[in-house]
Structure 1
Amino acid sequence: METIDSLKERLTVQQLQAVELLVENEFAGKNKRTQDEIANEVGVSRMTLFSWRTENADFIEYFRRKADERLNAMSVMVDAKLISLIDGSQWNNGIPSARAIDIFYRRFGLYPEHKKVLSIESEKSLDIDEMKRQIEEMRKKRKN
């Protein structure tokens, strides 16, 4: 797999700036900027920015990796919030959140294995005599 540094080397200064602004924009919430605003700040047209985002494989991959870095950096904060919900120290009047505990166990794969039992319904229903006959056949097979 190609390193982020080798991708970075193949991008222009404007493309690198655009990636940083686009990643920041993805996490901006209600304060998102338009593509025109980002393009203007970088010094290119909106169509050039669009072309980079949709046709330039290095730009697309570098953007994805930078967004992943940003998201991964937030995982520490998210985990800390999850723990505070579990211990009840800051939320819910000191009562641990059952949902947060569930999320914690799922995140770390701590739930025991569960087996699902499937029920197959027969199109025909058996009368009591037929069921007894089948049970007797199974008993005979077990003895053999």
Structure 2
Amino acid sequence: MMKMRKKMNRLFKRGFTLVEMMVAIAILAISAMIIYSSNSSAIRHQLSLEDTTFGHWLLLNEIEEEKFRRVAESETESDIHTQRQITIADKTYQITREPLETDSDLVELIEYSIELIDPHTGNHLIDRITTMMPISE
């Protein structure tokens, strides 16, 4: 019984071999690389989603402003193609308003689009909305 305990103690005091340590370090390194890769991907997507959300809000605001102008002003030119740039937080957005053909005499079809203007990578289309508005008389 005593000999058995001595053998067991010797086995437990021995520690880990170099190969076991290298395998453990390799497993930790691979898992750290996977975690880093997924986190950097999530950060890139978050920045893209922030631009998309902000651009969508600006586009909805532009549509609501036109609805207000149609109510407040009796004569508005509704059949013109317009572009306007907005700079907010060091980012420049371009909002485009383009009337589309329709057969109705009561409503008009208008397409709004917003692009993020980046001098390094070029324009990036964020959102496009097509809406109907009553023709002002």
Normalised by the length of structure 2, the TM-score is 0.29
Higher share in helix: 1
Q: Which has the larger radius of gyration?
A: 2
Normalised by the length of structure 1, the TM-score is 0.28
Higher share in strand: 2
